[in-house]
Amino acid sequence: MPIRSKLPAFPCAGTQTSHAPTRRDFIYGLGSSLGSVALTALLAEEASAEMGVSTGPHHPARAKQVIFLMMEGGPSHIDTFDPKPTLDRRHLERFTRKGAEKSAMESGSRYYVKSPFRFRRVGQSGADMAENWESLATVADELCFYRGCQVDSVNHPTALYQFNCGNRFGGDPALGSWINYGLGRINQNLPGFIVLPELSYPQGGAANWSNGFLPARYQGTPLRPTGPPILDLTPPTGVTSEHQRRNLDLLASLNQRHAKNHPQEESLRARMEAYELAFRMQTEVPAALDLSTLVVWCGEFGRTPDNGVRQGTAYGRDHNPKAMTIWLAGGGCRAGETIGATDELGAEAVEEVHHIRDLHVTLLHLLGLDDSRLTYYHAGRFKQLSQFGGTLINGLIG
């Protein structure tokens, strides 16, 4: 418990930032479970009269928690997990896109561009990987590569929203919020949906992990990469722990009188407890998690086999919503297989082709949730992650 001992007894108190726990300490304190949807279930259940309380899984779950690795920016499948020898032969061959194939980012002449990276086959399963993947190659047989996914948008923010929240227009609940809504076993006070953003927030900002129209307790908690991991975790400079403790004692005595006059109001008690819990938050280490974890690696879209020449020298790749590679591991997925395929150039998925909504339906399914039953009444209709329903991608399920 060396890391635990570094944490202050009162996480809200203390004035020295050097004592503020880092994001790493904080996560460690949560049982090293990133994005753990099961975290909420580790604490005692708490009755709640509030609307929209989750009801638990619809069927036995294969996965109990998810680590969703969103590689913001649209990693090129052609340069990572989906080699295209044809492009080596046609490197710098010039061509024109016509009509509907024209890119929104059209910039004069276009060229086919080969990958600058060498590929090799790794693991017993012979998975395709660029040479740059050193560590990942050692676990290749645990991964399920999926080459059939397609999305609707060529723009980063809208594609990110669609991947993270199901809807190209920001404002819908994120995948993690839906899962918490479906599975959270109700102690609403600890984050069950944790977000680890990089230094700069992704395009589209915090709406990528918002609870949307779901209640705020399903909102993603971003743990900040620098400084205190949670906003306002520490009191203003100069406020000591003694000061805070006295304020809290006065608050407790005032609240107790108020609660006596409103004995039936469960939410008041929950609010009082939230204040004490806030102090304990990092010092409580939940039991270690031995539950199966589903890992998903993806970007918001793939890349094209071609591009215009940028500044005369750089051969980039254009945004491509029609082809990408996603990999999944654990949580009831197939292992050591590659599902689906893109065409000869990597321009478009041609086998096991599914819209992103079907991937969402499949992820929920692995977690024991039925997308068509995981609904929330908002703005006149029952809404769901897939928007209007989708189908399972059976090929991904082990």
Q: How far is the CB of 163 from another protein (least distance, A)?
A: 16
Q: How far is the CB of 109 from another protein (least distance, A)?
A: 21
Name the segment binding another protein (CB under 8 A); options: 90-98, 206-214, 340-348, 365-373.
206-214
How many whole angstroms separate alpha carbon 366 and alpha carbon 368? 5
**Which x/- pattern over 157-196 shows residues binding another protein (rule: CB under 8 A)?**
x-----------xxx----------------xxxx-----
Nearer to another protein, 52 or 57 (CB): 52
Answer for the pair 106, 318: CB distance below 8 angstroms, yes or no.
no
| First-last CA distance in the chain | 37
DSSP 306-321: EEPEETTTEE---EET
Using CB under 8 A as the binding rule, the residues of this chain from 33 to 52 that contact another protein are 50-52
Among 246, 284, 344, 377, binds another protein (CB under 8 A): 246
Q: Tokens in use for 338?
A: 């590659």
User: Pairing mode, if any, of strands 314-315 and 309-310?
Assistant: antiparallel
Beta-carbon count within 10 A of 174 CB: 29
Q: How far is the CB of 281 from another protein (least distance, A)?
A: 6
Residue 243 interacts with another protein (CB under 8 A): yes or no: yes
Q: How many residues bind another protein (CB under 8 A)?
A: 73
Q: In sequence order, what are the residues at sequence separation of 6 or more whose Cβ sits closer than 8 angstroms to the Cβ of residue 16?
A: none
Q: How far is the CB of 72 from another protein (least distance, A)?
A: 8
Using CB under 8 A as the binding rule, the residues of this chain from 274 to 313 that contact another protein are 274-275, 277-278, 281
Using CB under 8 A as the binding rule, the residues of this chain from 347 to 386 that contact another protein are 378-379
Among 60, 108, 236, 263, binds another protein (CB under 8 A): 236
Residue 233 interacts with another protein (CB under 8 A): yes or no: yes
The DSSP bridge partners found for residue 349 are 342
Among 5, 124, 200, 311, binds another protein (CB under 8 A): 200
Give the largest CA-CA distance in the chain. Answer: 80
Between the CA of residue 161 and those of 132, 209, 303, what are the distances in Å?
A: 29, 9, 18
Q: How far is the CB of 131 from another protein (least distance, A)?
A: 16
What Rg, from alpha-carbon coordinates, does the chain have?
24
